[in-house]
A and B are shown apart, each in its own frame.
Chain A
Amino acid sequence: MRMISFAQALVEAQREEMRRDEAVFLMGEDIGYSGGSFGATAGLWEEFGAERVRDTPISEAAIMGAAVGAAIASMRPVVEMQYLEFLPYIDALVNLAAKLHLMSGGQILVPLVLRGPLGAKGGNGAQHTQNFEAWFMHTPGLLVVMPSTPYDAKGLLKTAIRDNNPVVFIEEKTIYFTQGEVPEEEYTIPFGQADIKRRGEDVTVVATGITVRRALNAARLLARDGIDVEVIDPRTLVPLDIDTIIESVRKTSHVVVAHQAPKTGGVGAEIVAQIQEQAFDYLDAPIKRVAGLDTPAPYNVELEKKALVYEDDILDGVREVLA
């Protein structure tokens, strides 16, 4: 099968959906001529023009508020936030997008996608290096997608654009240039279906986004020592496919949950809580969270790595739960 990058997969998903539905349009900072800061809209301005691939001023509050206004007025906006760390958009996302359906007693639909980069790129400093996906997960009314491969990114983004709920689509920054197999033919991936990225018998590693790749690398190294790791990628945090995770836990009885985000109050904490609620009796050891440190990211690239999660951290975590 052909290989394309994660960014190219996003471009393809948006191109196909824009061709399919005239209500779909894009807005964001530098997404037109320059194709987006990470190339996720490359070539779309050329094909669809400046009306439907809309460069905006640096006005994150207005971008998000206007996206909600357009969504409730029969359009399907896809917003690229240049960095999801540019936070003035949060008010319109949380106070409008997530709530209008409920507050209107079901009258209003908010079919929009907010997508963009989150997390570390290496030496971007603390403001541009954050993983607050738990905030989105903790906001009822939002669907939250966090893909780990180009294949998943394309299929999930197409589903997100067609969904009638507001969707936050998280792209970790170092993931854009990773390559993966993506078929030429059209497909979508439903929300709420975790993917077992590697089957194993000894220990379950639940990982999200870029951390899935690192968990798979760790699993290959552990296999040399005869440790058979199962790697599960939830793919969507809301809805969360806890059933697939529980099924795996019942088989392996050992669990590591891994992500880049700070450990305290992170997505991992929620997953661990649900596992103990539903499969406590199957566990042979306490569940280990392998997560980012509770700190704003330090600038020095090597020091930044210490605050984040790499293969070695996952290896240590797995060995600890099996010890």
Chain B
Amino acid sequence: MMEIRAFEEASLPYFQKPGHGSHHPCIGHEAIEAAIGAVLREKDYLFGSHRSHGQLLTKGLDPKLIMAELWGKTTGYCKGRGGSMHVTDWSRRVLPSGIVGTSITLAVGAALAIKLRGSDEVALAAFGDGAANTGAFHEGLNMTAIWNLPAVFVCENNGLAVTTHFRDSTSVERVADRATAYGIPGRTVDGTDPLASYDAVSEAVERARRGKGPSLIEAMVPRWKGHAAWDRGRYLTEAELEEMQTRDPLPRYRKYLIEEKVLTVEEIESIDAEMRAIMEEAVRFAEESPAPPLTKEEAIKYVYI
């Protein structure tokens, strides 16, 4: 969780200046992301969204190589061809996608492949509440349900689809209620609580791994930063912003760890300092890394194999 927060806080300022690509910070989503990473095995598939940095880090990717990809450098995971919404390490089976809802159908297909190959992996799709209103969500959940595929759908509900409030865009109180329509389990969990999130994800993943079929998890999270780096959040009232910041998952879990004597204040501060140092170094690495050769030939590399 601290790694994800440190990554976002180190990288975000660079994307608030003109001339850079996109950056959708996942600040506020750290607990559910950490839970996903803690549950999934290396060979499990994770399909992420445009807001994917936490999904990448939780799958064990190297912050330096993610950062270099955000900077469009050859040292990045995709050699500067992907960018923030498309950082991919396929050896770790993590693939985000910038079109809202596509992580869902990709997970359907990977889960189908797992079933056809007869292996015991799981495909997990992470997406936002906006994706719950796409056709891909409804088609995808129905398809995995009828075929009983090893898939898990995690809706990170931060209450905002770009600037549109959940209450103005969605016909039900809870996204998890939609699971009933497809005859699969659905539950809502506090996505700022890493332990509750872990339990929910773990239950769904194990269910899928045992061949019992897909589940839908709705993880409630805040988003007090904008949709993307450019966004100043003018569609939120001061009261709404303040309410969301009270749900910051980090101080709460810190307090829990100290109270339960898992870690001391000093240990937590030391981890925090270490993470911030790693991210500073990652930014330096990204800045100092070479750009791809700036030629027409390079621009069309990787169109076909």
Chain A contact residues, CB within 8 Å of chain B = 25, 51-52, 56-57, 59, 61-62, 64-75, 77, 88, 91-92, 95-96, 100-109, 140-141, 143, 164-165
Chain B contact residues, CB within 8 Å of chain A = 45, 47, 76-82, 86, 88-91, 95, 97, 99, 102, 104-114, 116-117, 123, 135-136, 139-140, 142-143, 146, 300-305
Q: Cβ of A104 and Cβ of B86 under 8 Å apart?
A: yes
24 contacting pairs across A/B (C-beta < 8 A): A51-B116, A59-B140, A62-B140, A64-B105, A65-B104, A69-B108, A69-B112, A72-B95, A72-B110, A73-B110, A74-B113, A75-B116, A95-B99, A101-B303, A102-B301, A102-B302, A102-B303, A104-B78, A104-B88, A105-B81, A105-B302, A106-B302, A107-B78, A141-B303
A67 proximity list for chain B (CB < 8 A): 109
Q: How far is the CA of A61 from the CA of B304 in the complex (A)?
A: 23
Distance from B273 Cβ to chain A, minimum over Cβ atoms (Å): 33
User: A104 is contacted by which of B90, B105, B112, B301 (Cβ under 8 Å)?
Assistant: B90
Contacts A74-B113, A109-B305: A65 and B140 contacting too (C-beta < 8 A)?
Answer: yes
Contacts A51-B116, A57-B143, A95-B99: A71 and B81 contacting too (C-beta < 8 A)?
Answer: no
Q: Cβ of A66 and Cβ of B88 under 8 Å apart?
A: no
Q: Cβ of A69 and Cβ of B107 under 8 Å apart?
A: yes
Distance from B140 Cβ to chain A, minimum over Cβ atoms (Å): 5
User: B105 is contacted by which of A25, A62, A71, A140 (Cβ under 8 Å)?
Assistant: A62
User: A102 is contacted by which of B47, B81, B135 (Cβ under 8 Å)?
Assistant: B81
A56 proximity list for chain B (CB < 8 A): 143
User: A62 is contacted by which of B47, B90, B97, B139 (Cβ under 8 Å)?
Assistant: B139
Q: Cβ of B142 and Cβ of A59 under 8 Å apart?
A: yes
Q: How far is the CA of A67 from the CA of B143 in the complex (A)?
A: 12
Q: How far is the CA of A51 from the CA of B106 in the complex (A)?
A: 19
Q: How far is the CA of A107 from the CA of B140 in the complex (A)?
A: 25
A140 proximity list for chain B (CB < 8 A): 300, 303
Q: Cβ of A101 and Cβ of B302 under 8 Å apart?
A: yes
Q: How far is the CA of A104 from the CA of B61 in the complex (A)?
A: 14
Q: Cβ of A107 and Cβ of B135 under 8 Å apart?
A: no
User: Which chain A residue has the least Cβ–Cβ distance from B121?
Assistant: A73
A74 proximity list for chain B (CB < 8 A): 113, 117
Q: Cβ of B139 and Cβ of A101 under 8 Å apart?
A: no
Contacts A73-B110, A91-B99, A140-B303: A107 and B88 contacting too (C-beta < 8 A)?
Answer: yes
Distance from A21 Cβ to chain B, minimum over Cβ atoms (Å): 12
User: B86 is contacted by which of A65, A69, A103 (Cβ under 8 Å)?
Assistant: A103
Q: Cβ of B88 and Cβ of A65 under 8 Å apart?
A: no
Distance from B144 Cβ to chain A, minimum over Cβ atoms (Å): 9
Q: Cβ of A62 and Cβ of B143 under 8 Å apart?
A: yes
A141 proximity list for chain B (CB < 8 A): 303-304
Distance from B111 Cβ to chain A, minimum over Cβ atoms (Å): 8
Q: Cβ of B116 and Cβ of A92 under 8 Å apart?
A: no
The 5 closest A-B pairs by CB, nearest first: A69-B109, A65-B105, A62-B139, A105-B78, A66-B109
Q: How far is the CA of A46 from the CA of B84 in the complex (A)?
A: 46
Q: How far is the CA of A140 from the CA of B301 in the complex (A)?
A: 12
User: Which chain B residue has the least Cβ–Cβ distance from A62?
Assistant: B139
User: Which chain B residue has the least Cβ–Cβ distance from A52?
Assistant: B116
User: A105 is contacted by which of B79, B107, B139 (Cβ under 8 Å)?
Assistant: B79
Q: How far is the CA of A14 from the CA of B97 in the complex (A)?
A: 31
B82 proximity list for chain A (CB < 8 A): 103-105
Q: How far is the CA of A59 from the CA of B95 in the complex (A)?
A: 23
Distance from A192 Cβ to chain B, minimum over Cβ atoms (Å): 11
Q: Cβ of A106 and Cβ of B139 under 8 Å apart?
A: no
User: Which chain B residue has the least Cβ–Cβ distance from A64?
Assistant: B105
Q: Cβ of B143 and Cβ of A101 under 8 Å apart?
A: no
B90 proximity list for chain A (CB < 8 A): 72, 104, 107-108
A71 proximity list for chain B (CB < 8 A): 109
Distance from A136 Cβ to chain B, minimum over Cβ atoms (Å): 14
